[in-house]
Structure 1
Amino acid sequence: MRRIYFLSPDIETTKRIVDDLLLARIEERHIHVVAKRGTELEDLPEANLLQKSDFVPAVERGLALGGSAGALAGLVAIALPPASTVLAGGVLLGSALAGAGVGAWAGSLIGVSTPSSRIKQFEEAIEAGHLLVLADVPKNRVAEIEARIKKHLPEVDIEGTEPIIPAFP
């Protein structure tokens, strides 16, 4: 899946685009609209906290850093003299998992309170009354969906795509 970002000038145009995306079999749960605070979106799918914050990237960073720190702590623990080789693997695995858990938890706390760095570049346009639409589409359909959007907004600049699947499993 890839996330497409683009700006729409008003509610009516956004509704037509969202309807067209739904007709193209993009599920409503994969379409998110960000608008200026206080804007009535009517029946448009509003972006939630996961789309508006840096939650997912922060959790990914927390998992990586916490897991690394836990593994390092496990290596130090098994290097100490009373360590048994039988328990070494368990200690290493346990400390890596504990570190990853703590890192993910800490990352989520930070990420949920940090506005999305990707959406931040659209703040001025959103405050001016435009609506930001985020659509998660299959990789092989990006060009088709962009063409559908351009039918409604020929002058639209698709602000790029980004993968929404984490880089690591």
Structure 2
Amino acid sequence: MRRIYFLVPDIPTTKRIVDELLLSRIEEKHIHVVARRGTELEDLPEANLLQKTDFIPAVERGLAVGGTAGALAGLVAVVLPPASTVIAGGIVLGSALAGAGVGAWAGSLIGVSTASSRIKQFEQAIEAGQLLVLADVPKGRVEEIEARIKNHLPTIEIEGTEPKQPAFP
């Protein structure tokens, strides 16, 4: 999946873009709208915490850093006597898993409180009243979807695509 970003001037145009995405067989759960706080989005699909924050990248970083730190701590514990070879593998694995768990937890706490670095680029436009539409589309259909939107709404600016999007949010 790839995430396409559209900066849209108003609610009626946003509705037309969402309708076009739905007609293009992009499910509503893959369409997200970010607006200035207090803006009534009516029936538009509002972006949730996962789209508005750096939650997922922070959890990924926490898993990596915590798992590495836990594995190193396990290796240090193995070097200290009287660890046997059988117990040593369990210590390394257990400490790596514990480290990954703590890292993911800490990362999630940091990520949920940090605004999305990608959305920050559009902060001024959003505060000025524009809306940001995020659409998660299959990798092979990005150009087709962009062309379809531009064909019906030529004034819409496509602000780019994000190369990697997790499948679950």
Short-chain TM bin: over 0.9
Where has structure 1 moved over 6 Å in runs of 4 or more? none
Residue 86 of structure 1 pairs with residue 86 of structure 2: yes
CA contact (8 A) 2:59 2:107 kept: yes
**What does the per-residue CA deviation read over 1:16-43, in whole Å, with 9 as the maximum and x for residues that have no partner?**
1101111111000000000011111000
- Number of residue-to-residue matches in the alignment: 166
In 2, distance between residues paired with 1:84 and 1:160? Answer: 55
In 1, distance between residues paired with 2:41 and 2:144? Answer: 26
Give the gaps of 5 or more residues in structure 1: none
In 1, distance between residues paired with 2:161 and 2:60? Answer: 19
In 2, distance between residues paired with 1:157 and 1:88? Answer: 57
**For residue 159 of structure 1, what is the aligned residue in structure 2?**
159
Q: Secondary structure at the match of 1:165?
A: coil
Identity of aligned residues (%): 83
**For residue 114 of structure 2, what is the aligned residue in structure 1?**
114
**For residue 40 of structure 2, what is the aligned residue in structure 1?**
40
CA contact (8 A) 1:53 1:112 kept: yes
**For residue 65 of structure 2, what is the aligned residue in structure 1?**
65
Taking structure 1 as the reference length, the TM-score comes to 0.95
**What does the per-residue CA deviation read over 1:104-151, in whole Å, with 9 as the maximum and x for residues that have no partner?**
000000000011110001011001111000000000000011112212
**For residue 95 of structure 2, what is the aligned residue in structure 1?**
95
AA aligned opposite 2:72: L
**For residue 16 of structure 1, what is the aligned residue in structure 2?**
16
In 2, distance between residues paired with 1:118 and 1:11? Answer: 22
Give the gaps of 5 or more residues in structure 2: none
In 1, distance between residues paired with 2:19 and 2:5? Answer: 17
CA offset at residue 81 of structure 1? 1.3
CA offset at residue 12 of structure 1? 0.5
RMSD across aligned positions (CA): 1.1
Taking structure 2 as the reference length, the TM-score comes to 0.95
CA contact (8 A) 2:8 2:157 kept: no
AA aligned opposite 2:165: I
In 2, distance between residues paired with 1:68 and 1:149? Answer: 44
AA aligned opposite 2:96: A
In 2, distance between residues paired with 1:85 and 1:129? Answer: 63
CA contact (8 A) 1:13 1:152 kept: no
